[in-house]
Structure 1
């Protein structure tokens, strides 16, 4: 027992110091438990096959798909628009929307999503964003208390209950607790944020972003001006022909930016879009939509000649580039490349350059000093310092930066591709998430929660809610996964050696005489204090078995005790480093450490007092 407690104490010290990554600390503790023969190899590795860990991995993937498809951004943006320019209404909506999203998605991901939206809305309403960003971070943690999957400590106490043979919690067992957390948070934060978080001036922009966005590039090269959508009707003479056979570039001086092909099943939810690069050999089909850039009169002549359908009106007159949003970059991207002074392409024409043949990309425009060459590019000779706008699949554009020394690609194509939300997949992501929730909520559906999450994660990948499988893997926070998988056997070691019984005996002897309420209060505030220094997941893993043992020793229900651990671990607001959301908003809100103490500490104490009296009412002793 002594060795186990020493290992636990060393782990806690290293967690607090932060000099070694938390997952590495957890793995070292696990190895020590093995070396001292406290755990067998099977026991030590049991965490990696635990359903909690597998569920966490699946939830990271599901949450990543919700962000990648822009579903969460779409919903939150529309709801927050209801606030108008009222500061109070915006504050309330930020809290409600953030907590609602945080109930289903990781709190870190929720804050990363909401932060730019809230800053933008605050600027439009002439409200200091610093008043909203700290409540935004706190609301994401409060929302996590609403559902079983909202935050890892909820899964940890579920695991402790099922392992001890108690009735498992349902998906919405946490909802009453979460709603009370959000209500208390709003009531306390409204005056505190007004008093302490509105003194500083609104943060200023630190200059223009050097990397141009895709839409900025499209506007700069006037791709969004003179942009027309031409659809090929049924039984058209164009169907079955290749682009080169139409001779569109030479005869009409038009540039086909892409061919968009809609594939739809009978269900509208499964509608999807295939983007095709307009290469000379592309065979056109009925229903294809050609995105064409060029002179309107030439477009009309081309449409008339082949009896095609012009879908867009001529919109160049407004000068605002309103069609920019019509250029989607799901599969096909654009990027700038600069020709080097030593390039072999100098004095060659674009037509002879081999971009199409070697790299499968099109040259859409050339920026030469302050001039833009956008028409008849085939015969333009390239000069040193020319900047070429190229179009191709993201993979082909990325290949340009690694396979030739004649140019330099500006920006990072694969990073830009990762930023593109696959918004046409949002209905699919919504349907899959709803299916997952239904499977977890209704006991009549014979599917275990971990199975429901795995099904949802796999469906997100198979239905194309991610650009590829690698993108799905990148959404998983492996540090959190390894941390919880390596720490779960620690609770087994505490029980096996009698250490958790010893700690719980100490708690019971000290507080048990005052009744279960006092004992639960002690566990709650111990958890709350520890979470200020180590992660909420690690805290929950360590204290869940102690809470269970304490409740059993005095002969009361363990449910309120374990809920005290989950809530105490998640409701930590007094430090910017206690949770990732708190740290995320610190630079954006220009907060100091003392801002968190002034606002977060009173909230943390009030939340604790409320929960000590509420939890026994919701889950009687």
Structure 2
């Protein structure tokens, strides 16, 4: 058996294994690479070259960038906008989500946009009581359509532009791609609204994130009852300046309880006197707090400085573990923890009235701790307590545009500029952005490690050798030549239909960039023989290359949504085929309208 047919056989077995869905997709991908090496089709270096490829580096770096945008509250802000304007309307929700996805794709690529918006869409689905599976496939397909809005939306567009310059002597404008991109986006949105509920399966993923959007109110009701928790600034003229921090006068007599005294940096202050610039956190009825502030010349903080959670600080709820070293020790609201970075806001005991004053801790008690977000992350990882909800998860869902949002957005803008101008290769631009997110402390090294979707990276790395083998052995060219040659002289429309068919078949099996590299020279040679405008066939290839919709292995973006949505391998083709018909109509019928096949 020749290498060509060996590659075809391995390809068919891989597709069958993916459809069978009994083996993890990572095992199938790695087995494909080993089978190609074992049969001598590719060398050892080529078998493992996928894991060092620019594609895998690009995807990994984009995961870090997406994690940073999520950690900084950028995706939370986008999600809040979508939920605010969409309300409970499925139509508005899908239109807003898919529109934002397409625009972001035009700026940072298909994979980057899906990686960045994926956490926001999953949390929004949970918050609205919808299954993520009903939103994530429209998300990925909107990204595919968005790749044709501008020149920088996809590497395939750049290949098409270069081929147009060489073959026709003229380029394709930056926004000229939108002539087909906009109809594809609008049509995809329409199909998602019309056919989505029937063709996209309802799947429940193994794990769903917890909705913490109402966490501030929930904790307030549980621990504070009807009281308000307010942070008051101490100006230089206040009569409290110089008072001992543990004996602030007249607080108890007004029905207002001082819970914590914090320095200008937000850290609790203990065993000292109150100074100008400090803050006093008080608890009580809102009217009583306002009267207390007026009495002592304190400055009520704005909305961002009140309550349990703000951009700078937050809360963590912990349960005292059995056999904890804390059992038997004394605590009280306002007590500063041993670290000096957190303060105890409240102490509750199950099936008992709210604990007030000094109380001894028992196993199973809950403590509400407040401090800077970084201090909560660092000091709540303790074997003595069990964390109910991580501060990181609370911050991501309750603090839009957090402290790291400015550097995150600046780095994102710089990455977009690098990608749009092509000053450096795309993997380098994404890697620089990922490094910038870590260096500027938008994310920690640990968060960057945890952001990796290893299933996606292993799948892509394992399947790249198959793409190499299909190209090198001539399997792709054999299939393409046979199909295109059969209809090359039948006229423009059959020719475009043949090019679309060949491109989409290959595009479901290998990357759309590799597909375009194989198809472009073949399509141009047939166009030359048939005296057809090369721009026409090139735009047909661009549209067909974006139609990687039928399997999760078609693109990394399709793979990214598989696990969070709970999809199976065979879940994509039903809705994907409906959208594919739209792509075929645009490639075969609409492309010749804007780029006529016969040029006078």
Does the alignment reach a TM-score above 0.5?
Answer: yes
SS in 1 for 2:318: strand
What TM-score, normalized to structure 1?
0.70
Q: CA deviation at 1:569?
A: 0.6
Q: Which residue of 2 aligns with 1:350?
A: 331
Who is 2:59 aligned against?
56
Question: 2:589 is matched with which residue?
Answer: 613
Answer whether contact 1:142 1:570 (CA < 8 A) is retained. no
Relative distance call for 1:174 and 1:77 in structure 2 (3 A) is farther
In the TM superposition, what whole-angstrom CA distance separates every residue of 1:187-219 from its partner, at most 9, and x where no partner exists?
55555569x699x9xxxxx9x989994542233
Equivalent position of 1:423 in the other structure? 401
Give the drift of 1:178: 2.7
Instruction: Mark the CA change 1:25 to 1:545 in structure 2 (over 3 Å): closer, same or farther.
Output: farther
- Alpha-carbon offset, residue 221 of structure 1: 0.9
Paired residues for 1:594-613 under 5 Å: 597=574, 601-613=577-589
Q: How does 1:441-456 map to 2 (within 5 A)?
A: 441-442=420-421, 446-456=423-433
For 1:68 and 1:582, how far apart are their aligned partners in 2?
A: 19
Q: Distance in 2 between matches of 1:179 and 1:66?
A: 27
Aligned partners of 1:60 and 1:106 also within 8 Å: no
Q: CA RMSD in A?
A: 5.3
Aligned residues: 560
Instruction: Go from structure 1 to structure 2 and tell me whether the alpha carbon gap of 1:612 and 1:481 turns closer, same or farther (over 3 Å shift).
Output: farther
Q: Does structure 1 residue 327 correspond to structure 2 residue 305?
A: no
In 1, Cα distance between equivalents of 2:344 and 2:272: 17
> Kindly tell me: are residues 16 and 600 of structure 1, through their superposed partners in 2, closer, same or farther at Cα, counting changes over 3 Å?
closer
Deviations 1:541-595 (A, max 9, x none): 664454245325525557335424422214779x9xx94688689789xxxx999
Q: Does 1:366 align with 2:373?
A: no
* Higher mean displacement: 213-222 or 110-119: 110-119
Mapped pair 1:499 → 2:470: no
CA distance in 2, matches of 1:171, 1:582: 29
1:247 maps to: 246
Cα displacement (A) at 1:46: 4.3
Residue 40 to residue 490, structure 1, CA distance change in 2 (3 Å): same
Q: State how far apart, in whole Å, the 1-side matches of 2:510 and 2:199 are.
A: 31
Q: 8 Å contact 1:528–1:572 — kept in the other structure?
A: no
1:228 to 209, 230, 235: 230
Query: What's 1:566 paired with?
Result: 545
Q: Is the 8 A contact 1:256 1:291 kept in 2?
A: yes
2:117 to 102, 110, 125: 110
In 2 relative to 1, CA 451–330 (structure 1 residues): closer, same or farther, beyond 3 Å? Answer: same
Structure 1, unmatched stretches of 5+, are: 124-128, 201-205, 262-273, 314-321
SS at match of 1:423: coil
Question: In structure 2, how many angstroms separate the alpha carbons of the residues matched to 1:9 and 1:571?
Answer: 15
CA distance 1:177–1:511, change in 2 (3 Å):
same
Conservation of the 8 A alpha-carbon contact between 1:563 and 1:615: no
CA 616–68 in structure 1, closer or farther in 2 if over 3 Å, else same: farther
1:145 corresponding residue in structure 2? 145
* 1:543-558 → structure 2 map (5 Å cutoff): 543-548=515-520, 550-554=522-526, 557=534
TM-superposition CA deviations, 1:449-469 (whole Å, max 9, x none): 444333333333333333x12
Give SS of 1:366's match: strand
2:512 equivalent to 1:512: no
**1:231–1:310 CA contact under 8 A, matched in 2:** yes
Query: SS of the residue aligned with 1:481?
Result: helix
2:68 corresponds to which of 65, 69, 78:
65
Alpha-carbon distance in structure 2 between the residues aligned to 1:301 and 1:134: 52
From 431, 434, 439, give the equivalent of 1:457: 434
Provide the residue aligned with 1:203 in structure 2.
none
Structure 2: distance between partners of 1:197 and 1:43: 39
Task: Rate the CA distance shift 1:118–1:292 in 2: closer, same or farther, 3 A.
Answer: same
Question: Distance between the aligned counterparts of 1:158 and 1:23, measured in 2?
Answer: 31
SS class of match (1:246)? coil
Whether contact under 8 Å (1:495, 1:545) holds in the other structure is no
* CA distance, structure 1, for counterparts of residue 22 and residue 181 of structure 2: 33
**Given the alignment of the two structures, is residue 18 of structure 1 paired with residue 21 of structure 2, yes or no?**
yes
Distance 1:283 1:430, change over 3 A: farther
Please state if 1:435 is matched with 2:414: yes
Match of 1:218 in 2: 220
1:394 alignment partner in structure 2: 376
Paired residue for 1:479, among 421, 443, 455? Answer: 455
Structure 1 pair 525–213 and aligned structure 2 pair: CA distance change class (3 A): farther
Note the alpha carbon deviations across 1:117-165, whole angstroms, 9 max, x for none.
47867x9xxxxx79x9847742542233324899999447767998999
Rounded Cα–Cα distance in structure 2 between residues aligned with 1:385 and 1:277: 27
Give the distance between the partners of 1:463 and 1:94, measured in 2 at CA: 29
Check whether the contact 1:30–1:487 (CA below 8 A) recurs between aligned residues.
Answer: yes
Question: Normalised by the size of structure 2, how large is the TM-score?
Answer: 0.72
CA distance in 2, matches of 1:568, 1:182: 12
SS of residue paired to 1:144: helix
Q: Per the alignment, in what secondary structure is the counterpart of residue 11 of structure 2? A: helix
Tell me how far apart the structure 1 counterparts of residues 225 and 68 of structure 2 sit (CA, whole Å): 30
Q: What's the offset of the Cα at 1:600?
A: 5.9
Distance (whole Å) between structure 2 residues aligned to residue 553 and residue 71 of structure 1? 47
The answer to whether the 8 A contact 1:115-1:585 is kept is yes
Matched, 1:380 2:359: yes
In 2, the alpha carbon distance for the partners of 1:438 and 1:169 equals 20
